[in-house]
Amino acid sequence: MHRIIVSTVSLWASALGAETFVCDNNIVKVETASPDLAQTVCTHTDTALAQFRSCNLPDPFPLGIEAVNSLENNCLGLFHCGENRIEVLAPDAMTALRLKQSLFNAIPTDRLFASVILHEMAHALYDQTPCPFDDCVATSEYFAYTQQLSGLLPQDLATIENQIDPEHEVSRDSINAMILLMAPDRFTLNAWEHFSQLEDSCSYWRGILHGQIVFDRVHP
Ligand SMILES: [Zn+2]
């Protein structure tokens, strides 16, 4: 069980009734009106940290996670770069939106919720890596999606892998900001197809975090 401390200091201008809970891992604070939901989020952040540490990746800087009831652009979660702040749709709101997602709609909400937290925490971790260009959005999303999919149960991952055409051959060039923008599901499938062919995924993730592997390029 996780001991949750109710902090008297609010991280942000909070929604009505929301409180700040400090997770036992001392890395994450959760902003929500529900102690039960705070507990759930803390547990999911522990799982995410364990996945990072199992590959000898560093911890992200301390960050805040706010459970919200709506997000713009039909997002399930959002990392605010430079602010160490994550917004994630609360499970009830995520259920309503999940069925509109083409890639993740077969994954039950509780497990999708955990995976979105992992995805956003991966963004927080990559935010510590310097980018040689204006932005490194493709690299950041590659890192976040491959972390997210790596944390799925096999039966959930299978619902996504089923959408990869076995005849399709992925190239490193097909992981880029343009495809991310125009066809985000295609980007995720390309990233996973590429990542699953790697011999040493942990060292690849470390290479990304060290800034040695970058999918982005100079925009013309
Ligand atoms: Zn993302």
Query: In CATH, what number is assigned to the domain containing residue 108?
Result: 3.30.2010
Query: Both tokens of residue 45?
Result: 């952040």
| Rounded distance from Cα 156 to ligand 1 centre (Å) | 19
Which residue, 64, 60, 61, is CA-closest to 18? 64
Same domain, 78 and 142: no
Number of domains making up the chain: 2
- Average pLDDT for the chain: 91
**pLDDT per position as a tens digit, 57-76:** 999 999 999 999 999 888 89
Quick one: pLDDT band at residue 218, thresholds 50, 70, 90? confident
The range of the structural domain enclosing residue 169 comes to 137-209
Quick one: pLDDT band at residue 17, thresholds 50, 70, 90? confident
| Rounded distance from Cα 174 to ligand 1 centre (Å) | 17
pLDDT at position 16: 59
How large is the average pLDDT for residues 95-112?
Answer: 89
Same domain, 116 and 144: no
pLDDT at position 36: 96
**pLDDT per position as a tens digit, 161-200:** 999 988 889 999 999 999 999 999 999 999 999 999 999 9
Identify whether 132 is part of a domain.
Answer: no
| Rounded distance from Cα 17 to ligand 1 centre (Å) | 28
Identify whether 131 is part of a domain.
Answer: no
Whether the pLDDT of residue 212 is over 70: the answer is: yes
| Rounded distance from Cα 140 to ligand 1 centre (Å) | 7
Same domain, 144 and 174: yes
Whether the pLDDT of residue 6 is over 80: the answer is: no
| Rounded distance from Cα 34 to ligand 1 centre (Å) | 25
| Rounded distance from Cα 178 to ligand 1 centre (Å) | 15
| Rounded distance from Cα 8 to ligand 1 centre (Å) | 31
| Rounded distance from Cα 145 to ligand 1 centre (Å) | 7
What does pTM read for this prediction?
Answer: 0.92
| Own/partner pairs, 53-60, CB within 8 angstroms, 24+ separation | 54/202, 55/201, 55/202, 55/205, 55/206, 56/202, 56/206, 57/125, 57/202, 57/205, 57/206, 57/209, 58/125, 58/128, 58/209, 59/27, 59/125, 60/27, 60/84, 60/121, 60/124, 60/125, 60/127, 60/128
